[in-house]
Structure 1
């Protein structure tokens, strides 16, 4: 049987790295993509094919997909994992930064989908995995632009699932909870840079401290939890539309579903230490 081909973005660390390793262990030919190829040297040494990719650069995306197709003739799995968290008060985040957040978290994923779908339609098979977040179902203080991208990715995935079903292509959303990655420290740094001074400073400081706290970090789940969920999705004959995994994801999503808005506002403010 011909080996299946997988492309995993954001593979230089965290969920992307763990996913590339998991799929490789399952026998996939895996292309791990990231902006910095040097951070994927160990992946390459372990037999994973590494490829330079900037999801905000169309030429970079085209070149990467063309290379994979020229070397293997097909792409069976696309894991859209590249992303980051831009935190700060909606009033204070520069719109250029807000646009870049959407370019990375939404439009980069959408463009890769456009590039791989013709081949998947032709072969009448394939799985597109979009890494959302519990933040695509809930919200936290000072995360308007980040949550906006994840809510958008969820809606995009739902519509895409309907479009691709007649062609035998599955679309799966993965909703990680709190995971042991660089995400929290990076998001906290962005928040402090944008809103550490001014009218939102007190809440920004509390939120950044919560995101980067050692106590929270100890409770976070390892990236392999999400890699396992992705592996389950791409190997299933009929995958679920959503897989939720990782610390706090399922209980918080459930509470968001059952609580009135104001009650959830109060809950999430207490949990993040930003209650006023």
Structure 2
């Protein structure tokens, strides 16, 4: 059966690519994003677009209600909207830290609250939370981004065990490095916040590392889009999937290395002694 799907962050990258592929597979796809004008291409192809800000209660309620009114149900929610607020803990303004959590955690959680009653009524639903390998380990200068993804992972685990009794699956996808706008936005924010002062050298090294991965080794958004398409058609999906540059390798190292060993490995990546 074709599914009614809502995907956030559909204006670029993974979200836009996933919306295209899920539509081509015959589903009814609603793409939501703040940047409504950036979705004109997928709208032309048949994706039904919504202007939605995951930090704005009214826009989330209105978006979900409009889908329920038109379709009678929402089968799949893909929480993909997110960004990375980078900078040293000492220097990131608390207002930015709170906004990071608002977008990456609380907005997704509120959408889950809004779609669950319909899923439970139909005894079917799939909630796909796009986390990151950054939800399993933390790099320097990314504390608030990592904190948001660690929280998203925990929220997903609790939710999974609450709603499986109602026929609802909760699936976490953990991308590694992917070619999206995320890297440029994160780097610009990092340089603005910590590009001067005591963290300047570390910041420059880190920005260089991110850019090198994005330019030469990062995976294409279609890699994660394909994975999303696969997991929502799997009858008994795994709880977690990882894909993208160095995703499985880094997750394996985090499991087997001590904290000190992992810290040393990160230092070598940043060319720091």
**TM-score strictly above 0.5:** yes
Corresponding residue for 2:127?
128
Corresponding residue for 2:77?
78
Checking the alignment, whether the CA contact within 8 Å between 1:141 and 1:269 is kept in structure 2 is no
Structure 2 CA distance for aligned equivalents of residues 272 and 18 of structure 1: 31
Alignment partner of 1:235 out of 229, 233, 239: 233
1:264 aligns with 2:266: no
Corresponding residue for 1:11?
10
Q: Secondary structure at the match of 1:138?
A: coil
Structure 2 CA distance for aligned equivalents of residues 20 and 178 of structure 1: 20
Post-superposition offset of 1:220:
0.6
Checking the alignment, whether the CA contact within 8 Å between 1:5 and 1:74 is kept in structure 2 is yes
Deviations 1:85-135 (A, max 9, x none): 000001110000000000000000000000000100110100000000010
Post-superposition offset of 1:80:
0.2
Corresponding residue for 1:176?
175
1:15-26 aligned at under 5 Å gives the runs 15-26=14-25
1:183-202 aligned at under 5 Å gives the runs 183-202=182-201
Post-superposition offset of 1:212:
2.1
Structure 2: runs of 5 or more not aligned: none
Deviations 1:198-217 (A, max 9, x none): 1111101111121123x642
Q: Secondary structure at the match of 2:163?
A: helix
Structure 2 CA distance for aligned equivalents of residues 67 and 218 of structure 1: 42
Identify if the C-alpha distance between structure 1 residues 35 and 216 changes in structure 2 by more than 3 Å, giving closer, same or farther. Answer: closer
Corresponding residue for 2:215?
217
Structure 2 CA distance for aligned equivalents of residues 269 and 165 of structure 1: 41
Q: Secondary structure at the match of 1:51?
A: strand
CA RMSD of the aligned region, Å?
0.9
48-57 or 198-207, which moves further after superposition?
A: 198-207
Checking the alignment, whether the CA contact within 8 Å between 1:178 and 1:248 is kept in structure 2 is yes
Q: Secondary structure at the match of 2:232?
A: helix
